[in-house]
Structure 1
């Protein structure tokens, strides 16, 4: 009896507490939505993704054939996209991506070719309509500063700071008319403010333009500032701190990095012939295949192979000046073609009468061959006087930025 009474009291209290308290909440169901894997404008989750690189001598057709595209379809694709993408220009080592259909066969539907870290081409043939488009990845630009003291070369001084070797090449381009980079002296100094490109804010994507530079060579100071003096043409040029154009009408040499192996000499004894014979050119030695540049704007008047000259190109720049480039391995321009200063017109070789790889650079003034190293060559068109005050105001702050960069001891 006592046990029954206690049990009933316990049951009563339990029911009372359960009624007075809040009922436990049921757990909420949260739907987790995964973020789609978007790249190149496609959801990669919808495809079989194949990443690879172009092999030596591999063709566009071979790649698509390997991924189950019929030869007739490959021809159709190549023809349809040729105005946007030349499938013959695939370069060995360049990465590509195939997006294939998610089935047992894995038929290719999209081909993506990455020209560089920024530029890529998308060829889409999954539907009856074939499309091709060139795309640029979003790039952010950060201004960076560099400086150094030359001990052996500009490239070495920049590499000590972890700077891209391209930066040295770009600086050589800017000062190509004022500084002989083959004759840099120990303790020459430089400062530079330049653009560093990034993809997704973290992935380095190369060097952009140089905003400003300073070079101290053989005790002389050389400033360079990037500026657009022609608002119509919108062409960027480099000027010094007094608004003088750094560019001249002719480059000092047709090669970026080489050495003079033989100078213009009307009384030189040529080893190949074993007797005295005038040498009316300047020889620049360089490895076979090195790019040869036109030293000035002009039109190609000769591009052929002839006797001792081997493969050569001759360019008329105006009514006064012409230049010629001998012993090329390969010519890259044709007669009648207009070329710009610095444009590659061929490569160094050993064709014709020559005992080693070099380019023989010949220079004509008023129809007579002369020594280009002794000519007082004309400067490029100067800045308009009306623009100079604005330019000097523009470079004042940039020059101060350069001056504030301190050389490390």
Structure 2
């Protein structure tokens, strides 16, 4: 070692240090904690607890769990009562506790959310301050066009649309489309607006601007329109200004199956004899709401061995309908009902092999097949409003048709 020149020793030491430096893993920089701001507070500055009101919880009981003491809780409750009615707190609603980060974990802020867009803040940091705020809601508009694959709800969900739109659509087209007969591949397009809280949280469908459905090879358009701009009433019309709403709904139930049609002669599944079946059977789970298909007056309710629990409604001098085999009757004789009102629940009372409703229809006292009837429309659009309707409808129709052509090759 003594005979090795110093310059060589220095060189060897330098190489050795270089190897150690390469082998030593680099120090990783600590990632900064993401900043979370909610309800106007920086959550990073607090010990945060998010929970849900359960049955038996009160504002006072929730504060008592925070070791504030009975006198302090009473003082807070008294101070907030003018701006926050704590009696209206409901089970299932979320609340947030913001506590100090020190070992005491002292409650600083209490936040209660009665709905998705509004919230109450009780700030306890200096003095008791209470206020209500509403989160900003924005509307985003879009048009979708697709072919039916499964149920309407399932098809919409695949388009990332809230399933409630399926219910809205079924109501709009209840007089024009028998949703039991929609088939895979039937095409539709819808223009609608959706709500977003804070621009990011999806909050469902706000309204429908235009739509069309392909049904039995025909395209049926629907455009909302107010004849009187000062009125809240909105009706839906096709591209020619003809009202979609008929005097009668297509069926007394939603999204169910026809199991037996009107027939002059069929084999009765209970009595095991051939006889006429003067109604249409719609199968559905027990308890499913049964709607009156048109407005009118309840002519009769009761029970017979064959019909089970039933309701009969007279709509005018010409038309009557009857609903059989109910598990529960929800109206009384002489009661006035409006189209779509729930008058009973599906059951299997009387001569029935399973839960369903038998829907019967009379015209001038004679029973007829409701599915074969060409039923009357409701009040048409007044002529004076048609130019305004056509002007408002035209760009909406062009947009629907354009998107449908692009996505569905129509």
TM-score w.r.t. the length of structure 2 is: 0.69
Q: Report the Cα offset of residue 403 of structure 1.
A: 1.7
Q: Could you say what secondary structure the match of 1:230 adopts?
A: coil
Identify the residue that residue 128 of structure 2 maps to in structure 1.
none
- Is 1:284 matched up with 2:257? no
Bigger mean CA deviation after superposition, 58-67 or 244-253? 58-67
Structure-to-structure mapping, 1:7-406, within 5 angstroms = 52-53=51-52, 94-97=92-95, 113-114=114-115, 117=116, 139-231=137-229, 233-405=231-403, 406=406
Aligned mates of 1:172, 1:249 — CA distance in 2 = 16
Aligned mates of 1:297, 1:329 — CA distance in 2 = 22
Q: Could you say what secondary structure the match of 1:354 adopts?
A: coil
Aligned mates of 2:304, 2:96 — CA distance in 1 = 48
* Structure 2 CA distance for partners of 1:97 and 1:174, relative to 1, 3 Å: same
Identify the residue that residue 10 of structure 1 maps to in structure 2.
none
Aligned mates of 1:330, 1:165 — CA distance in 2 = 28
Q: Deviations over 1:23-75 (max 9, x none)?
A: xxxxxxxxxxxxxx996x9xx9xxx9986557xxx85689988988xxxxxxx
The answer (yes or no) to whether the contact 1:147–1:158 under 8 Å persists in 2 is no
Aligned mates of 1:67, 1:305 — CA distance in 2 = 55
Q: Report the Cα offset of residue 198 of structure 1.
A: 1.6
Q: Could you say what secondary structure the match of 1:396 adopts?
A: helix
| Number of residue pairs matched by the alignment | 350
The answer (yes or no) to whether the contact 2:278–2:367 under 8 Å persists in 1 is yes
Identify the residue that residue 407 of structure 2 maps to in structure 1.
407
Q: Could you say what secondary structure the match of 2:167 adopts?
A: helix
Q: Report the Cα offset of residue 344 of structure 1.
A: 2.7
Aligned mates of 1:136, 1:319 — CA distance in 2 = 52
The answer (yes or no) to whether the contact 1:327–1:349 under 8 Å persists in 2 is yes
Aligned mates of 1:311, 1:235 — CA distance in 2 = 35
The answer (yes or no) to whether the contact 1:291–1:344 under 8 Å persists in 2 is yes
Q: Could you say what secondary structure the match of 2:153 adopts?
A: helix
Q: Report the Cα offset of residue 404 of structure 1.
A: 1.7
Q: Could you say what secondary structure the match of 1:308 adopts?
A: coil
Identify the residue that residue 104 of structure 2 maps to in structure 1.
none
In angstroms, what is the RMSD of aligned CA positions?
4.5
The answer (yes or no) to whether the contact 1:309–1:326 under 8 Å persists in 2 is yes
* Structure 2 CA distance for partners of 1:156 and 1:362, relative to 1, 3 Å: same
Identify the residue that residue 12 of structure 2 maps to in structure 1.
none
TM-score w.r.t. the length of structure 1 is: 0.69
The answer (yes or no) to whether the contact 1:227–1:237 under 8 Å persists in 2 is yes
Identify the residue that residue 21 of structure 1 maps to in structure 2.
none
Aligned mates of 1:327, 1:334 — CA distance in 2 = 16
Runs of at least 5 residues in structure 1 that lack an aligned partner in the other structure: 1-36, 69-83, 125-133
The answer (yes or no) to whether the contact 2:292–2:339 under 8 Å persists in 1 is yes
